[in-house]
Amino acid sequence: MSEYTANNYKIGQARWCPGCGDHFFLASLHKAMAVLGTAPDDIAVISGIGCSSRLPYYMNTYGMHTIHGRAAAIATGVKVARPELAVWQVSGDGDGLAIGGNHFIHALRRNINLNMILLNNRIYGLTKGQYSPTSDRGFVSKSSPYGTVEDPFHPAELAFGARGHFFARCVATDASSTVDVLVAGAKHKGASVMEVLQNCVIFNDGTYDSVYTKEGRAKNAIYLEHGKPMIFGVNKEKGLMQEGFGLKVVTLGENGITEKDILVHDAHCEDNTLHLKLALMEGPDFPIALGVIRDVDAISYDEAVEAQIEDVKNKKKYHTFEELLLTNETWEVK
Amino acid sequence: MKIHKHQVMTDKMMVKELEKVVVRFSGDSGDGMQLAGNIFSNVSATVGNDISTFPDYPADIRAPQGSLTGVSGFQVHIGANKVLTPGDACDVLVAMNPAALKTQYKFCKTSSVIIVDADSFQEKDLEKALFKTQDPFEELGIKNEVISAPISSMCKSSLAESGLDNKAALRCKNMFALGLVCWLFNRQIELAENMLREKFAKKPAIADANIKVLNDGYNYGHNTHANGAVTYTIESKEPKAKGLYMDINGNKATAYGLIAAAEKAGLQLYLGSYPITPATDVLHELAKHKSLGIKTVQCEDEIAGCASAIGASFAGALGVTSTSGPGICLKSEAMNLAVIAELPLVVLNVMRGGPSTGLPTKSEQTDLLQALYGRNGESPLVVIAATSPTNCFDSAYMAAKIAVEHMTPVVLLTDAFIANGAAAWKLPKLADYAAITPHYVTPDMEGTWTPFQRDPETLVRYWATPGTKGFSHRVGGLEKCNKTGSISTEPANHSLMTNLRQAKIDKIADSLPLLEVEGAEDADLLVVGWGSTYGHLCSAVEELNQAGKKAALAHFQYINPLPKNTEEVLRKYKKIVVAEQNLGQFAAYLRGKFNGLAVSQYNEVKGQPFQTHELVEAFTKIMEK
């Protein structure tokens, strides 16, 4: 246990709508911070714009509520300048995947050691209800009164396409799993994306109904754990197996299938093919995957920057401005 | 075609002494004209001449060989005394092919000597340069003295024994031209040789070949008396301050200014940038110096360049972002975050021709009003404009100093002209530069401090960097309560904060140098300029005064805030002309600031530096009105 409690990380009175998933998530984040035990003064929480991006105001840490879409870019500057800080980046689906999509993929490609929270409610809340880049095709909103005519992003697909090394998913109302995911993401060295499924009670109520309650998750979700067989269901009666290029849901005890036949989760596998398949599962035929889907070690950008500086410092003979001047071709006026 | 007949002469050469000379090297992009020009300027600077150089290259990386769009030029102005500009027209034009002759002849005057490579004026070369006849000189109406030397063939035969193939041998032909020019101006060829040895230190065979051709060019001039019986010399008159010197262009000087400031302030230097002409060299320069602990991130876009620099500043570094042209549009939103969060940030804008992609490699002063006002809301920030290649160092240093001492973004305006132009620069001593004291919180503030608490004198808020125990806080783009630092939409508070942000910037004028006027004290005309045009305006005012016309120059490095005595100075003069490379942005700014101030304008937007003689003519007309 660390010397800090969740209370050490709390400040202010959150002003999200009553029942908003952000409230649940914030409480889990405070708890996760206490588990991790980093001193509040050594943490920077950087957000963009949107409902969820108000979050830094409720964290008793250093924080910055920045501009729309740029949280990952600003967090990059913080982390590269000060790699010893724990840097958390908080964005919604619009902030992170629409206006900030470019920064999202490049932070992942560079593998900057950021804890990237993606609060995904599949709607623009702060602007009062427009569809977002994660809204399903046909979604009816104020800006799509006849339904959208475009396909959504799956955050995991983007993350893997950008060569992301860590991807986890949790449901805002599912506190213990959320804390586990946040702790795992923070411990992962490199860019870790944590997708939080959350409800918008005002503009997109019920968007994650199938997994928003404990009973729902028992039926419709699978908690993935590294090294454990992929078993789920109300009575742990179902499992996942590989079939051809895909996955299939099987029932234990049927057709002679036993636990030994069930796929064992390997979050550390370099090849992300199965991780992607797991991340893309959805109902009604498949359970929604929760927990750490991918967690692969790699050198982080900020670490590489420091290493390169050390290396060049050892190789080059100039280490001050005036020494630098003398590396030029000069002539003397006597 | 007027070509000087080659003659082997035995009579004595005459050496004429010149006060100043302008040489323009031109050829195909791949002909090595920049190198030849650079070496010639450095050789001249080494013997104590003052120099000002201006490379003028095309936007295309390699346009079709021999084509008009592929011509690359390098102009150097060498003086016995101080030179302030690369010169209007050239005294010597080196044209390595017909395309160079055609496009660069406009920089000649009637007395200019033109040196051409006779071998590259064949039928096919003339066709590529779209000449209609076989006599390009006649076609262009050139009556100048022309030294037509078979440079390519002599270069090939010079290196016949070297083991280099024809193609490699021909790459040395720029050195033949350089040798010829060195002979014409009695330059010490050994100095050029040393520079070549250093440049090709890792390729001694290439160094030897270049040096051989260089000497052959020199000897060719000597043996054939290529310029009749006259050569020239420029003896240094104005003794320079003792010390070590180097040749530096504006982009490098800017990078050095930032490095110096960060070291002086004890801050880490962070550059977030995205490549864009003509600012990219600043990124290149800073990326080299990891041994100084400098961090450069080539970001995914201009926005991230600026945003990450703000992140770095928030984290306690000197955050810098660099750009040019359309890049500055993309940074505007993030710059405004630094305005409202009151974080230090240096935004370098190496101005180029616009709008949109405009003229990427050419120079303009057209981003001034954007720097001042181009953001949503009341968004005051500091604007500084560097006045010469070497002044980029001081301006960058001051930009960084103001940013971290006053917790504000500072826009540093340079432009393609001074970014690429170079001059001799005395190596500075960091000890001679003003201290830089970041405006940090102090331990005694713990417990009572709030993020927007200000120094009562300067109105500057205090910098609490992450990791500082007891000072964790949140800043952001939303309006904050002046007292508590928490979000506030309270009308009176917003009004207060808007005024405080403006007053904070205005108060910076207290620490800025006063505006000085150069030239006649009782001038009939005050010329006003800002930024990179200093050299041309100063030269023009000097010429006017030499001609008995009383003119003076007030040149601005600090644009926002203006020096405190600006109004007092300007109101003294009956006639004021604001000369700038835009349609009147600084003139409009001054009129807006100083009610009723009557200023006339001289504006030019050609993407090229001013021409001193054109300025003199225009100012004379205004004086005679």
CATH number of the structural domain spanning residue A154: 3.40.50.970
Contact B222, B196 (CB under 8 A): no
* Number of domain units in chain A: 1
Contact A41 B303 (CB under 8 A): no
Residues of B in contact with A70 (CB under 8 A): 303-304, 307, 334
Q: Are residues B491 and B580 in the same domain?
A: no
For residue B428, give the chain A residue with the closest CA. A322
In chain B, the percentage of residues whose pLDDT exceeds 70 is 98
Per-residue pLDDT at B322 exceeds 70? yes
Residues of A in contact with B291 (CB under 8 A): 309, 312-313, 315-319
- The amino acid that residue B589 corresponds to is Y
Give A 278-307 residues with CB within 8 A of chain B.
Answer: 305
pLDDT digits (tens, 9 = 90+) for B427-465: 999 999 999 999 999 999 999 999 999 999 999 999 999
Residues of A in contact with B249 (CB under 8 A): none
Q: For residue A226, count other CB atoms closer than 10 A to its CB.
A: 16
Domain contains A282? no
Q: Are residues B229 and B366 in the same domain?
A: no
Torsion of the alpha carbons at A206, A212, A214 and A218, rounded to the nearest 10: 100
List of E strands, B531-608: 551-556, 558-560, 576-580, 600-603
Please give the distance of CA B55 from its chain centroid, rounded to a whole number: 10
Q: Are residues B131 and B227 in the same domain?
A: yes
Per-residue pLDDT at B414 exceeds 90? yes
Å between A318 CA and nearest CA of chain B: 7
Per-residue pLDDT at B58 exceeds 90? no
Contact A78 B256 (CB under 8 A): no
User: Which among A67, A75, A330 is the nearest to B337, CB-wise?
Assistant: A67
The structure tokens 């619009």 sit at: A94
Domain contains B238? no
Pairing outcome for strands B108-117 and B551-556: unpaired
Under the banding of pLDDT at 50, 70 and 90, the label for residue B173 is very high
Domain contains B415? yes
Å between A150 CA and nearest CA of chain B: 26
Contact B582, B413 (CB under 8 A): no
**Facing residues of A202 across strands?**
none
Q: Which domain holds residue B94?
A: 14-233
User: Which among B198, B239, B290 is the nearest to A312, CB-wise?
Assistant: B290
For residue B470, give the chain A residue with the closest CA. A41
Contact B341 A332 (CB under 8 A): no
Those residues with Cβ within 8 angstroms of residue B334's Cβ, 6 or more apart along the chain or in another chain: A67, A70, B303, B306, B307, B310
The structure tokens 């003294």 sit at: B572
Å between B214 CA and nearest CA of chain A: 20
Please tell me the distance from the alpha carbon of residue A268 to that of residue A281, in angstroms, as a whole number. 19
Q: Are residues B501 and B567 in the same domain?
A: no
Domain contains A278? no
For residue A112, give the chain B residue with the closest CA. B297
Domain contains A20? yes
Å between A214 CA and nearest CA of chain B: 35
Q: For residue A258, count other CB atoms closer than 10 A to its CB.
A: 9
Looking at B379, B411, B432, the residue that finishes a domain is: B432
For residue B236, give the chain A residue with the closest CA. A333
User: Which among A61, A67, A102 is the nearest to B333, CB-wise?
Assistant: A67
Per-residue pLDDT at B567 exceeds 50? yes
SS3 B22: strand
Contact A77 B333 (CB under 8 A): no
- The amino acid that residue A324 corresponds to is L
Give A 53-72 residues with CB within 8 A of chain B.
Answer: 56-57, 59-67, 70
Domain contains B265? yes
Domain contains B320? yes
User: Which among A43, A62, A77 is the nearest to B307, CB-wise?
Assistant: A77
Residues of A in contact with B246 (CB under 8 A): 325, 328-331
Contact A43, A90 (CB under 8 A): no
SS3 A204: strand
The pLDDT, as a whole number, for residue B2 is 37
Please tell me the distance from the alpha carbon of residue B295 to that of residue A289, in angstroms, as a whole number. 39
pLDDT digits (tens, 9 = 90+) for B515-528: 999 998 899 999 99
Domain contains B9? no
The pLDDT, as a whole number, for residue A1 is 64
Contact A40 B472 (CB under 8 A): yes
For residue B292, give the chain A residue with the closest CA. A319
Looking at B511, B531, B566, the residue that finishes a domain is: B511
Pairing outcome for strands B108-117 and B145-149: parallel
Sheet arrangement for strand A238-243: A231-232, A238-243, A246-251
- Mutate one of B292, B449, B487 to test the A interface: name it (highest A CB count within 10 A): B292
3-state secondary structure B400-424: HHHHHHHCCEEEEEEEHHHHHCEEE
One pLDDT digit (tens) per residue for chain A, 334 residues: 689 999 999 999 999 999 999 999 999 999 999 999 999 999 999 999 999 999 999 999 999 999 999 999 999 999 999 999 999 999 999 999 999 999 999 999 999 999 999 999 999 999 999 999 999 999 999 999 999 999 999 999 999 999 999 999 999 999 999 999 999 999 999 999 999 999 999 999 999 999 999 999 999 999 999 999 999 999 999 999 999 999 999 999 999 999 999 999 999 999 999 999 999 999 999 999 999 999 999 999 999 999 999 999 999 999 999 999 999 988 888 7
Burial code (b: 16+ CB inside 10 Å, e: under 16) for B566-581 equals: bbebbeebebbbbbbb
SS3 B502: helix
DSSP B460-516: PBPB--TT-TT---EEESS-B-TTT-SB---HHHHHHHHHHHHHHHHHGGGGSPPP-
Q: Are residues B38 and B166 in the same domain?
A: yes
Contact A332 B430 (CB under 8 A): no
**Facing residues of B346 across strands?**
B320, B410
Q: For residue A138, count other CB atoms closer than 10 A to its CB.
A: 12
User: Which among B239, B268, B427 is the nearest to A81, CB-wise?
Assistant: B268
Give A 74-133 residues with CB within 8 A of chain B.
Answer: 74-82, 84-85, 102-103, 106
Would you give the DSSP letter of residue B481?
-
> How many separate helices (H) and strands (E) can be counted in chain B?
21, 23
pTM flag (> 0.90): yes
Burial code (b: 16+ CB inside 10 Å, e: under 16) for B310-328 equals: bbbbbbbbbbbbbbbbbbb
The pLDDT, as a whole number, for residue B85 is 95
Q: Are residues B377 and B448 in the same domain?
A: no
- Mutate one of A308, A310, A316, A333 to test the B interface: name it (highest B CB count within 10 A): A333
User: Which among B248, B260, B315 is the nearest to A77, CB-wise?
Assistant: B315
The pLDDT, as a whole number, for residue B56 is 85
Those residues with Cβ within 8 angstroms of residue A146's Cβ, 6 or more apart along the chain or in another chain: A140
Domain contains B240? no
Residues of B in contact with A106 (CB under 8 A): 299-300, 304
Contact A62 B303 (CB under 8 A): no
Domain contains B4? no
Tokens of B412: 């540093």
The pLDDT, as a whole number, for residue A17 is 96
Please tell me the distance from the alpha carbon of residue B217 to that of residue A297, in angstroms, as a whole number. 61
Torsion of the alpha carbons at B504, B505, B509 and B512, rounded to the nearest 10: 110
Tokens of B382: 């500091």
Domain contains B543? yes
Contact B319 A77 (CB under 8 A): yes
Residues of A in contact with B312 (CB under 8 A): 77-78, 80-81
Contact B244 A332 (CB under 8 A): yes
Please tell me the distance from the alpha carbon of residue B222 to that of residue B215, in angstroms, as a whole number. 10
Q: Which domain holds residue A61?
A: 6-207
User: Which among A79, A81, A321 is the nearest to B260, CB-wise?
Assistant: A321
User: Which among B48, B312, B469 is the nearest to A77, CB-wise?
Assistant: B312
User: Which among B195, B263, B317 is the nearest to A81, CB-wise?
Assistant: B317
Please tell me the distance from the alpha carbon of residue A79 to that of residue A74, in angstroms, as a whole number. 9
* Number of domain units in chain B: 4
Q: Give the residue-averaged pLDDT of B411-435.
A: 97
Å between B248 CA and nearest CA of chain A: 9
Å between B584 CA and nearest CA of chain A: 33
Interface contact A15, partner B, CB < 8 A: no
Tokens of A116: 């990237």
User: Which among B291, B301, B315 is the nearest to A316, CB-wise?
Assistant: B291
Sheet arrangement for strand B600-603: B517-519, B551-556, B525-530, B576-580, B600-603
Contact A289, A279 (CB under 8 A): yes
- The amino acid that residue A65 corresponds to is H
- Comparing C-alpha atoms, which of B186, B152, B192 is closest to residue B37? B192
DSSP A298-316: ---HHHHHHHHHHHHHHH-
The pLDDT, as a whole number, for residue A292 is 98
User: Residue B142 maps to which CATH number?
Assistant: 3.40.920.10
Å between A18 CA and nearest CA of chain B: 20
Please tell me the distance from the alpha carbon of residue B157 to that of residue B176, in angstroms, as a whole number. 12
DSSP B298-363: E-SSHHHHHHHHHHHHHTTSEEEEEE-THHHHHHHHHHHHHHHHT--EEEEEEE-B-STT-BTTS-
Tokens of B35: 């190198």
Contact A49 B477 (CB under 8 A): yes
Q: Are residues B133 and B198 in the same domain?
A: yes
**CB contacts < 8 Å between A and B, how many?**
205
User: Which among B270, B307, B313 is the nearest to A73, CB-wise?
Assistant: B307
Looking at B414, B432, B450, the residue that finishes a domain is: B432
Interface contact A40, partner B, CB < 8 A: yes
Q: Are residues B201 and B106 in the same domain?
A: yes
SS3 B8: coil
Under the banding of pLDDT at 50, 70 and 90, the label for residue B7 is very low
Supply the Cα-derived Rg of chain B in whole angstroms: 27
The pLDDT, as a whole number, for residue B3 is 38
Domain contains A311? no
Domain contains A228? no
The pLDDT, as a whole number, for residue B62 is 73
Tokens of A94: 């619009």
Contact A333 B48 (CB under 8 A): yes
User: Residue B583 maps to which CATH number?
Assistant: 3.40.50.920
Please tell me the distance from the alpha carbon of residue B176 to that of residue B42, in angstroms, as a whole number. 17
Contact A82 B486 (CB under 8 A): no
Contact B300 A102 (CB under 8 A): yes
Q: For residue B206, count other CB atoms closer than 10 A to its CB.
A: 17
User: Which among A41, A46, A67 is the nearest to B469, CB-wise?
Assistant: A41
Q: Are residues B171 and B276 in the same domain?
A: no
Q: Are residues B542 and B490 in the same domain?
A: no
The structure tokens 């930032």 sit at: B258
